[in-house]
Structure 1
Amino acid sequence: MAYIRDFGQLGRGDVGLAGGKGANLGELARAGFPVPPGFVLTTAAYADFVESNGLAPRILELATLPPGAHGTDYDGAARRIRALFTGGVMPKEIARELREAYSGLARGTAAPGDGGGADVPVAVRSSATAEDLASASFAGQQDTYLNIRGADDVTAAVIDCWASLWNARAMAYRSREGLDPATVRLAVVVQRMVESDAAGVMFTANPSNGRRDQVVISAAWGLGESVVSGAVTTDDVVLDPASGRVESRSTADKDVMTAYADKGTREQPVPDRQRHQPVLDDSAAAALARQGVAIAEHFGSPQDIEWARSAGEFFIVQSRPVTALPEPSAEAPTEWPLPFPKGMYFRASIVEQLPDPLSPLFADLIDGSVTRSIRALLSEAVGSDVVREGDVSLPTINGYAYYYYSSSGMWRVMGKSLTAMGALARGQAHMGIKGWRDHSHPRYRGLVRRWAAKPLEDLPSSEVLGGISELLDAGTAYYTAVQSVIPIAATSEIMFRSFYDRLVRRAGDPPGQTFLLGYDSEPIRAEKSLFDLAAWTRGHPELAAALASGPAGSIAASVRTGERPAGVDSGEWEQWRTRFQRHLDRFGHAVYNLDFVNPVPADDPSALLETLKFFLRGEGHDPHERQQHSAGRREDQSRAISARLDPVRRAAFTRLLRWAQRAAPVREDALADVGLAWPLMRRMLLELGRRLVDSGIIADPADVFWLRLDELRNAIEFGLATPGASITGAERPVRADAVEQRKMLWRGQRKAAAPQLLPESRWMERAFGSMMPARSQDQCGDTFSGVGASSGQVTAPARVLGGPEDFASMRPGEVLVARMTTPAWTPLFAMAAGVVTDVGGPLSHSSIVAREYGIPAVLGTGVATQRLASGQQVRVDGDAGTVTVERAEA
């Protein structure tokens, strides 16, 4: 036959002939899986029907809509195309082969419960060439017809399936996926019906958490189409397929089921005795799961399977790859056990820069590093007997870092608070702005330069690890020193604004923040550098077009390799690449998150390139002009206010203002350089990772971040992190399973909202809650509050960002929502209409930069990333310090 293929004649490579559904069913049948008998009317039949009726030009004319069209825009075209198909004439040869194949199916062995006969019931299913693929499922875009009997009705159902290739939903979906309508074809699967007593779907990997070691089954009484369409409530079972153990079960109140009608299907009530009865018991679910795993292993990827059961036997009626499966994730923790009793745990200070659970290696290294830096600082400032062994540490709870102070240590530190404030005021222990400028910053920079000059590839692994520890200690000590700059900047601003608001400001005067804007700082200098690069790039149109249209990830890879994009002059490319590299050399150490598992812009500049593309499109404001405007307004208002004050208030106003203006930019400069050592540390760690890959310890160099410190030390001690070392006879990396389990646990932990204070108690909240950088997580309702850090109001869609991996999704005019921001996030503020964070206060980085940009900010909400979703319309009120979800009217 020219147009018909039995399942046994097809395999997974026949998508062009049989469509995705038909090819997969053929593959399953040939592999011996229990597939009800059937055949495929190939795409050649569709093509010949369209050609013989002269439909192709008209179809393409109707199906070609402007880019960005939605499903409803295609409704009229879909109706007219369907009329073209139903008014067409089936070519005689196709009609003859279809009748003969259907008759042959009727003469074959009866499927359970169907009775056989000349009018055997069949399912007629669309099988498009762009369907059930590993890259995109396109599932449910075309039509299926059940319980079709008789050759005439089968022929009519086939034509309806062909027409459904052009329904509004399918055309809009293909347009979004960028698929050329001229290339799509449709085959039709005709398959003996299974008159099932139960049916459903099965995922051989858990689609909710991505775990490949769980099978999820949804089951209902009757036929399975109602499960796929969502028309009935299902039982849901999650199993461990290796052991067959049911890990969770939800048994629904199943009030309706789908059953055969005289023609097609109908819904009918479930008998009372079955409504609350599980459709599958544990042994049946385990047997079905084993079959699903076998199918997944055969295809080599997780599968979305439709199944049916008749007379106690399972049948497979469809299998497609699971697409867009998330990375495996454990369950989010709900308990917060304390590692040490008789103490207090805080998520503040350096922990604000660690919004996510820590990677294992960083957690092991940072604990001792922070402890040493705090003890050294306090020892110099208030005496060596105040903080004792075990008084302070940085443990993790469910992966999240906490400052821990023993109860006795906390009381001793609090008893020395006045002494500490005096030491800060005197600049003792290299604290304060002068200590940062003259000691901490040059010492840190010098150490980074010394290690950067060493030939990394030639160093013994033990020396490399020692260097990593030394650099991290230097970074931690630097951050501790920066923590002494922050209160000076904060105090200076608070005192100036308090004096101004109470004793100077009159109706019509600008807010106090006006007098602190328009100054240079490292984040603002970085923004101006990127803007200037975009301006230079626009002078080279071909280069600008390539950079503006190319994916940021691909451009970042080209920056690393030097391979120029297609169509770009090599000289222009090298000039641009040199300029961009200079930008990265100066500003690329800014951290998104202090955990060194996260790349910095110097490692992966994709996020910066998204902002560069934004500037190339001319969508951003000129930061030079914005800064000049702010500085001009600041100076004009300063002169005007000063001129009207009496001598005493003028002197106080001038002295407090100059103090605040000197301190505020230093804070941002100091914070921006916390990550000076991070690009080098990451290179050193990845060098150790490459050595461990060669030794068979881990599968990928980046897996080194997921080892424990003692594991890394042991590998080095036994020479397994030495170039050329290997484990004799090792077939796979020995820590691969442990690394994957730790990543899965980390992803689950990341879903949790870590309490700001532990143990969770009312007295802790009353005593220390106001000092924490986030509000309570118990806020309910559509409005929640934080700190109004930059004035103004805006209503716009939210964009929730977990980190730089999400930056490409940010669109101009959206509200940036994040757990926290660092100076590395500054480029996004050029796009944002407002800023909302879980963590932060009126003097944090987010507030200072938001004021520079003139956008409202509400910080320290504690709940924003848990309560908001991207695309939700939100109102941000930076004056009231509230965020409100705008509900659409019914």
Structure 2
Amino acid sequence: MSQAAPSPTPHPSPLLRSFHEVSRADIAEVGGKAANLGELARAGFPVPPGLVLTTEAYRIFVRESGIGTRLQELASAADPEDPEATGRTAEAIAALFAGAQIPEEVREQVLAASAQLGSPALAVRSSATAEDLEDASFAGQQETFLHVEGEEALLAAVRDCWASLWSARALAYRAQRGIGPEEVALAVVVQEMARADAAGVMFTASPTTGRRDETVISAAWGLGEAVVSGLVDTDDLVVDLSRGLVTSRSTAEKGLEVVPAVRGTEVWEIHGPRRRAEVLSDAQALDLAAWGARITAHYGAPQDIEWALVGTGFVITQARPVVALPPEAGPAPHDWSVPRPRSLYFRGSIVEQMPDPLTPLFADLTDAHVVDAMIETVSDASGRDDVFRREGVHFPTINGYAYYGYDRTALAMLTLRTTKFVPRLVTSGIGGPVYWAETALPRYRAVVAEESARDLAGTDARLLLESAERLVHAGFAYYTAVQTVIPPVVIAETSFTALCRRVRRDGDPRPEVLLLGFDSEPIRAETSLFDLAARAREHPALAEALAASDQPVRERPADVDPAAWQEWLDGFDRHLATYGHATYTLDIAQPVAADTPALLWDVLRMYLRGEGTDPRRRRAAAEQERVAAEARIIGHVPTPLRSVFTRLLRRAQHLAPIREDALAGVGLGWPAARRALLELGRRLVATGAIAEAADVFWLRRAELEDLAGSLDAGTALLPSRTGLVEQRRVLWRGQRLTTPPQLLPQRSALRFVDRWMPSVGEQTAADGSLRGIGGSGGVVTARVRVLAGPEEFREFRRGEILVAAITTPAWTPLFAMAAGVVTDVGGPLSHSSIVAREYGVPAVLGTGSATRTLRTGQLVTVDGGAGTVRPVEDDGSATGEDGEGAPA
């Protein structure tokens, strides 16, 4: 390993300090960067020698140059929501600094001290007092100047560092974090320039998976500026120190490097073998990772470290805490071996509502109940018990993901029986909308009502588990009934659409326009929430109190009228009781609004701010457009076809909203099931078995049944499962990093089945574009917002492209803000497609990997007609924040 370099002579002046005189306790005096470098140097790490011009020097400069008052005025007026105005503010401040002289006292001390460093080339770095903290990273907000030579160049670099405290980036970043201009000052690091042969960045925990046993290194030739600025492609390595191995290596073609120049740095082109040569050997990577482990141990937290290779040893040029490190995730699975080699596994039907790996308890419940509930419902709807059979059919999880599994005999019998089943279903012989409305829905509601009436506190632990299972089983049975609604809807819409396309003339509206503007359960839920916001706005104090709170408010604010408050609260509770069961995914571990009202709060606040559109107005506009489109097309349909056309149209219009109404009811039993399981969880917390009630979802069903038996037997203390729960969470996070194949085995002879899968699979082209299914026509260019679930709804901004694994009725309010929609899973008649058409936004569905391929903030063009999503070169013209996407 490299050795730490000696530090210059200590300086008694309040304006200058050597690295060995400062530590992380001195941020107010020397800023975050210098404090960390001093901490590293004092601990014996290999830091190039340097000194710090303290914040007192900056304050003397501002005071004696006379720019202080004007500086505060300008900085206080910066508006992070107005980038152009912030840019003008930064330019005005830069002009203030450029015209100011460095006081002689400061000038003399800087020049005298820098002479002690013994190097003609220096690195001059900004070190802000609100920088490199554990809860915020200001990396890149201020300037760094490399290979500075000569007295005047040094003084100019110092002044430019001071000025960079007020760059547009820094002003906007601090304003967003609520850091006022009076809270910050800037110190300047003056350090020997490390003449690096190679340099880069090292994270001592994986920034992608959060794994603490992985060190991630990026490396390039030349100075580290090329890596930090993103100028060059880097070699990327993953090191597992516990095994002493480089577990992953990607060697880039490195066409450029940054090298010292007469003044500053310059970029050179790399020729010959070095372009493809490995920057670090395995031994060097392990040596560097060992330094990272020591630095992490010193700070007690994972670090983001900048390093340089000088000759045969390493120097450390910066270390800061890794900000926003994700929870630790296990390795992403790559082996998709199937449980039964002679079976076919696919992700369709109810699995569309399970886009993520299943939590352990829900995985066991699905395995036990999905297939049985399906067979029971089909047998009941048909009056026959030979349509589907249990033999050869199962519902396992593979790497945590749910699959239907059929052995070859069962699949052959299913295909044969389906040829008889579907025609009867389509003609309403069995199942379909009537069975759903008159039998399945009332039956499900009866089970929910019975179980919701339980006195949970007085119910035995095992009965709580049985109650939850009964509700989940009823929900799966109901979902099967919903699936029988789909074929009539599909046939009605496709039959009408096919005829409409044959009789359309140039200028006629698209066929789907004639199916829009009808009421449905998701639209009614959105309207109810919109009305709650509208009623609150009638009482300004009430609206202000609600909008100011990040969480649902149950206690009346002091300045709100009691009658208005109670009326609004009663209305909110009615909304939750009526619509709060809408699921985001079917996994019962995922909260719904009925038991976690906070899930709706950000959408409600959106309406309180006046954002989004009035659902009634939008539906009225769609209805008006539909009526006009009907009149136009029917008016020129040939008389022999007119009655057929009208009959097909009316049937398609009748059935159009039914699928959404049916699907919206799937989660009716979920609030009661979650309440029962969380009550069981709370009892287990009291015994020490788990740390929090929600940990119950991470236990297997058999484990939970045994624990419930112990509770009923009166056991006061139980062995802790906390470590086991965390292990399963880590495993689940790793599983979530992968895209599950739609069909297994991957080399199956039945690959033709892929065309009926809810995702067309990973269709990422070389240019990063995605292909899916066009769900709603139109073309738009806007920025992406990838959302994992409702906990991230508050991050969504009007005019962005909503990217999600799948959208269910619970996602509907976001469509009012979206410029377009892209999903991993879905088809032309999925919820995403239907609602996107209602809102008139382009949608591309079933891409297979949009949530893993696209990144938040990326500029893309969504073409809902062609079913493509294409990355766009970003020239900064797209709004990206609270603005409308641009039609392409």
TM over 0.5: yes
Closer/same/farther in 2, CA of residues 437 and 17 from structure 1, 3 Å limit:
same
Q: Give the match's secondary structure for 1:210.
A: coil
Contact 1:77 1:168 in 2 (8 A): no
Closer/same/farther in 2, CA of residues 149 and 336 from structure 1, 3 Å limit:
same
Report the counterpart of residue 580 of structure 1 in structure 2.
Answer: 572
Contact 1:798 1:872 in 2 (8 A): yes
Q: Aligned equivalents of 1:708 and 1:211: distance in 2?
A: 25
Q: CA deviation at 1:472?
A: 0.8
- 1:130-141 matches, within 5 Å, as 130-141=130-141
Contact 1:607 1:808 in 2 (8 A): no
Closer/same/farther in 2, CA of residues 182 and 659 from structure 1, 3 Å limit:
same
Q: Aligned equivalents of 1:784 and 1:227: distance in 2?
A: 28
Closer/same/farther in 2, CA of residues 474 and 48 from structure 1, 3 Å limit:
same
Contact 1:703 1:739 in 2 (8 A): no
Q: CA deviation at 1:51?
A: 0.8
Report the counterpart of residue 375 of structure 1 in structure 2.
Answer: 375
Q: Aligned equivalents of 1:252 and 1:650: distance in 2?
A: 64
Closer/same/farther in 2, CA of residues 784 and 97 from structure 1, 3 Å limit:
closer
Q: Aligned equivalents of 1:697 and 1:449: distance in 2?
A: 31
Q: CA deviation at 1:586?
A: 0.8
Could you tell me which amino acid in structure 1 is paired with residue 787 of structure 2? L
Contact 1:18 1:41 in 2 (8 A): yes
Please give the root-mean-square deviation of Cα atoms over the aligned residues, in Å.
Answer: 4.1
Q: What's the CA shift string for 1:13-63, capped at 9, x where partnerless? A: 321111111222333344454545544332122112211221212333555
Report the counterpart of residue 96 of structure 2 in structure 1.
Answer: 81
- 1:223-234 matches, within 5 Å, as 224=224, 227-229=227-229
Of 811, 820, 823 in structure 1, the residue corresponding to residue 797 of structure 2 is: 811
Contact 2:371 2:390 in 1 (8 A): no
Closer/same/farther in 2, CA of residues 580 and 39 from structure 1, 3 Å limit:
same
Q: CA deviation at 1:583?
A: 1.0
Contact 2:223 2:308 in 1 (8 A): yes
Closer/same/farther in 2, CA of residues 523 and 274 from structure 1, 3 Å limit:
closer
354-363 vs 515-524, greater mean Cα deviation = 515-524
Closer/same/farther in 2, CA of residues 784 and 58 from structure 1, 3 Å limit:
closer
Q: Aligned equivalents of 2:835 and 2:650: distance in 1?
A: 20
Of 716, 725, 728 in structure 2, the residue corresponding to residue 739 of structure 1 is: 728
410-419 vs 851-860, greater mean Cα deviation = 851-860
Contact 2:372 2:390 in 1 (8 A): no
Contact 2:47 2:316 in 1 (8 A): yes
Closer/same/farther in 2, CA of residues 338 and 77 from structure 1, 3 Å limit:
same
Contact 1:134 1:323 in 2 (8 A): yes
Closer/same/farther in 2, CA of residues 702 and 258 from structure 1, 3 Å limit:
same
Contact 1:720 1:726 in 2 (8 A): no
439-448 vs 413-422, greater mean Cα deviation = 413-422
Contact 1:10 1:23 in 2 (8 A): yes
Q: Aligned equivalents of 1:299 and 1:465: distance in 2?
A: 45
Contact 1:699 1:736 in 2 (8 A): no
Report the counterpart of residue 47 of structure 1 in structure 2.
Answer: 59
Report the counterpart of residue 15 of structure 1 in structure 2.
Answer: 27
Report the counterpart of residue 544 of structure 1 in structure 2.
Answer: 543
Q: What's the CA shift string for 1:503-551, capped at 9, x where partnerless? A: x877777655455444332112112211211221221223334444x4x
Closer/same/farther in 2, CA of residues 698 and 270 from structure 1, 3 Å limit:
farther
Closer/same/farther in 2, CA of residues 871 and 147 from structure 1, 3 Å limit:
closer
Q: Give the match's secondary structure for 1:489.
A: helix
Whether 1:847 aligns to 2:833 is yes
Q: What's the CA shift string for 1:372-402, capped at 9, x where partnerless? A: 1123234454854564444212222333222
Q: Aligned equivalents of 2:236 and 2:505: distance in 1?
A: 65
Uncovered stretches (5+) of structure 1, i.e. residues with no partner: 107-115
Q: What's the CA shift string for 1:418-467, capped at 9, x where partnerless? A: 442465368677x3333322322122112222222223234333222222
Closer/same/farther in 2, CA of residues 137 and 842 from structure 1, 3 Å limit:
closer
Closer/same/farther in 2, CA of residues 382 and 25 from structure 1, 3 Å limit:
same
Report the counterpart of residue 535 of structure 1 in structure 2.
Answer: 534
Contact 1:22 1:40 in 2 (8 A): yes
Report the counterpart of residue 110 of structure 1 in structure 2.
Answer: none
Q: Give the match's secondary structure for 2:552.
A: helix
Report the counterpart of residue 775 of structure 1 in structure 2.
Answer: 760
Contact 2:125 2:190 in 1 (8 A): yes
Q: Give the match's secondary structure for 2:793.
A: helix
- 1:183-222 matches, within 5 Å, as 183-191=183-191, 199-219=199-219
Q: Give the alignment's TM-score, normalised by structure 2.
A: 0.84
Could you tell me which amino acid in structure 1 is paired with residue 102 of structure 2? G
Closer/same/farther in 2, CA of residues 651 and 316 from structure 1, 3 Å limit:
closer
Contact 2:373 2:477 in 1 (8 A): yes
Whether 1:678 aligns to 2:664 is no
Report the counterpart of residue 689 of structure 1 in structure 2.
Answer: 681
Contact 2:862 2:869 in 1 (8 A): yes
Q: CA deviation at 1:763?
A: 5.7
Whether 1:821 aligns to 2:807 is yes
Contact 1:785 1:882 in 2 (8 A): yes
Of 552, 555, 569 in structure 2, the residue corresponding to residue 558 of structure 1 is: 552
Q: Give the match's secondary structure for 1:125.
A: strand
Could you tell me which amino acid in structure 1 is paired with residue 590 of structure 2? N
Closer/same/farther in 2, CA of residues 188 and 240 from structure 1, 3 Å limit:
same
Uncovered stretches (5+) of structure 2, i.e. residues with no partner: 1-12, 877-888
Contact 2:375 2:390 in 1 (8 A): no
Percent identity between matched residues is: 50
Q: CA deviation at 1:302?
A: 1.4
Q: Give the match's secondary structure for 2:319.
A: strand
Q: Aligned equivalents of 1:343 and 1:227: distance in 2?
A: 49
Report the counterpart of residue 663 of structure 1 in structure 2.
Answer: 655
Q: CA deviation at 1:738?
A: 1.3
Q: Give the match's secondary structure for 1:137.
A: coil
Closer/same/farther in 2, CA of residues 283 and 531 from structure 1, 3 Å limit:
same
Closer/same/farther in 2, CA of residues 629 and 385 from structure 1, 3 Å limit:
closer
197-206 vs 876-885, greater mean Cα deviation = 876-885
Q: Aligned equivalents of 1:234 and 1:209: distance in 2?
A: 20
Q: CA deviation at 1:186?
A: 0.9
Closer/same/farther in 2, CA of residues 830 and 566 from structure 1, 3 Å limit:
farther
15-24 vs 61-70, greater mean Cα deviation = 61-70
Q: Aligned equivalents of 2:287 and 2:853: distance in 1?
A: 40
Q: Give the alignment's TM-score, normalised by structure 1.
A: 0.84
Contact 2:552 2:597 in 1 (8 A): no
Q: CA deviation at 1:672?
A: 0.6
- 1:492-507 matches, within 5 Å, as 492-497=492-497
Q: Aligned equivalents of 1:478 and 1:516: distance in 2?
A: 26
Report the counterpart of residue 601 of structure 1 in structure 2.
Answer: 593
Could you tell me which amino acid in structure 2 is paired with residue 803 of structure 1? G
Closer/same/farther in 2, CA of residues 61 and 242 from structure 1, 3 Å limit:
same
Q: Aligned equivalents of 1:535 and 1:268: distance in 2?
A: 61
Q: Give the match's secondary structure for 1:523.
A: helix
Contact 1:24 1:318 in 2 (8 A): yes
Q: Aligned equivalents of 1:588 and 1:408: distance in 2?
A: 42
Report the counterpart of residue 392 of structure 1 in structure 2.
Answer: 393
Whether 1:2 aligns to 2:14 is yes
Report the counterpart of residue 748 of structure 1 in structure 2.
Answer: 737
- 1:16-31 matches, within 5 Å, as 16-31=28-43
Q: Aligned equivalents of 1:138 and 1:273: distance in 2?
A: 37
Q: What's the CA shift string for 1:553-578, capped at 9, x where partnerless? A: x53x333xx25569656654444333
Q: Aligned equivalents of 1:538 and 1:667: distance in 2?
A: 34
Q: Aligned equivalents of 1:884 and 1:156: distance in 2?
A: 45
Closer/same/farther in 2, CA of residues 590 and 721 from structure 1, 3 Å limit:
farther
The alignment of Structure 1 onto Structure 2 pairs a total of residues equal to: 859
Q: Aligned equivalents of 1:830 and 1:161: distance in 2?
A: 45
